[in-house]
Structure 1
């Protein structure tokens, strides 16, 4: 595919009106193709999912271990504040913004879907896209110096392609007033778009349509979480697995890193012990107080000694609860599993 081969004479197709869709039906429609928020997983830069997770989602493969969604509040806040973000954008730019509650499809690449937040009318009568985001205050640094998180750039470029539009804006609210707000333009880039289409097409045709699992890519923590989620709970009764000798180099490297880590942890403990020793006279002077100050005419040192309190059920009490009130125990406790990877070198 070359840049000149992209047919620019098309209009997006409407798959369904999303205004009255239930969430379950909306999720079902999303399985018919690739949405804007899916692109980063295909490219291996998603902060939320791997390409294998995306593949499993499109094929309706359920994880063997169900985990609670840890960021559901952030997602819900983002969804509920979309209208406010659009309103602030319209006020700051003077541009007309409006929603179209429909799911669109690229007519030339039908695996490309778009569920756009808002559209913009520019003064010359042309249309563009507005993507609305929110983030917590600490994450605002990702937007500094004109920056945009890479996964959002891919999302918007996907939308521009589906809708055959030339310009978009991403607006992000990171605080509780209109000054804690960033606006970033994105112009259509045909070379970038070609690459996105090629990667999406390969994913859809070679993996989804052929029902062939893609190799993992992306962040290692996400990969490990995905393997655990779809691999199921550990079974100690399973026989030992023989791994190919070609992987011994990686295990040697792992052991070398383990030794380096051990040395660093040893030094860390030594430093912490020295710090505790130095803190003794100050802790003694503080007594029940939680803060102190020292000024030597050049510098001012503020000392805090704050408590951390938590209420928990002890192991013995938990055992009593399990025996005496099994119904309450079952209702309020949850069994989770974690696994530790270790390597031990032995003589052959």
Structure 2
């Protein structure tokens, strides 16, 4: 595979405006995103996104993601809903806090020489020599933990990807933490990182163009992707002559045995402390503490008894849940 042209002195040319998005329907925009790697895909493409694996991203880019569970942008319980809703508010708060004017970029941008590198930029900063792009983020109580030491790695890669596509030199990341604190972080263009990022993204794009699934990485995302990619039961496959996979199986059996032993040790240690605590709800130690509290009572329905007393309800309200493949080990 020929290597794409990397960024460097004299190569920071402006991006191409691939498609205007001001009046573009969301469905058409989602289809367009399948034709390249965008900024929000960058970390997943190189295996560094904590939420999306290479394999799940590959399903999306190859059109195999139909039926795969995804956040609903209209669901008010989803972070993506609030991120979209609050983006203009974060941008306005950034202007108020920094005095820098911003404007929307109503286009999908494309790298001038590497067609599969595309970007959707939240805002461009107007008339400032030091910084040219703005990325708007929101983080709830859980997500805010990822920002304790600055911009998370997966967001840094997103921004470096955007700088690579646009040829710009710096971007600000404005993040609204828990709905009440705005932090602004500056990210400067890193030519070495961009060169490596483009190389790794090109390797991922080769998986897409050759229609070859990338290897699983042990994440929940990869597990979802595998179950979606291979949903059916299709007989037996014989790996007895495959030394690599036979070794993998032996390692899996050994690791599971070790996990079981560790879980037994954990249970014994936990129960030793619980027994020593008696009715106490909190225990303090030299290096930390534990709590052992009873949760509040909750109301429920005894479905087994209900259906026994009213069997006609089962046919009236019964639903069929689709089965899923179970991974069981026998030795």
Q: How many residues align?
A: 317
TM-score (norm 1): 0.79
Q: Which residue of 2 aligns with 1:288?
A: none
Q: Which residue of 1 aligns with 2:231?
A: 232
> How far apart are the structure 1 equivalents of 2:9 and 2:99?
33
Q: Which residue of 1 aligns with 2:11?
A: 8
In 2 relative to 1, CA 136–322 (structure 1 residues): closer, same or farther, beyond 3 Å? farther
Q: Which residue of 2 aligns with 1:83?
A: 88
Q: Which residue of 2 aligns with 1:23?
A: 26
> How far apart are the structure 2 equivalents of 1:167 and 1:174?
22
RMSD over aligned Cα atoms? 3.1
Q: Which residue of 1 aligns with 2:329?
A: 343
Q: Which residue of 1 aligns with 2:201?
A: 200
TM-score (norm 2): 0.82
Q: Would the aligned equivalents of 2:55 and 2:213 in 1 still touch at CA under 8 Å? A: yes
2:134 to 130, 133, 137: 130
Q: CA deviation digits over 1:128-172, x for unaligned, max 9?
A: 110011111233232223x21111111111111111110101111
1:176-325 superposed matches below 5 A: 176-177=179-180, 180-204=181-205, 206-210=206-210, 212-233=211-232, 235=233, 238-243=234-239, 244-275=242-273, 277-278=275-276, 282=279, 304-317=293-306, 323-324=312-313
Give the secondary-structure state (helix, strand or coil) at the position aligned to 1:161. helix
Q: CA deviation digits over 1:209-249, x for unaligned, max 9?
A: 33x2142254532222210111114x3xx432212243333
> How far apart are the structure 2 equivalents of 1:23 and 1:257?
45
> How far apart are the structure 2 equivalents of 1:131 and 1:318?
54
Q: Which residue of 2 aligns with 1:168?
A: 171
Q: CA deviation digits over 1:162-195, x for unaligned, max 9?
A: 1111010111111232xx2221111111111112
Q: Which residue of 1 aligns with 2:69?
A: 67
In 2 relative to 1, CA 312–160 (structure 1 residues): closer, same or farther, beyond 3 Å? farther
> How far apart are the structure 1 equivalents of 2:308 and 2:72?
28
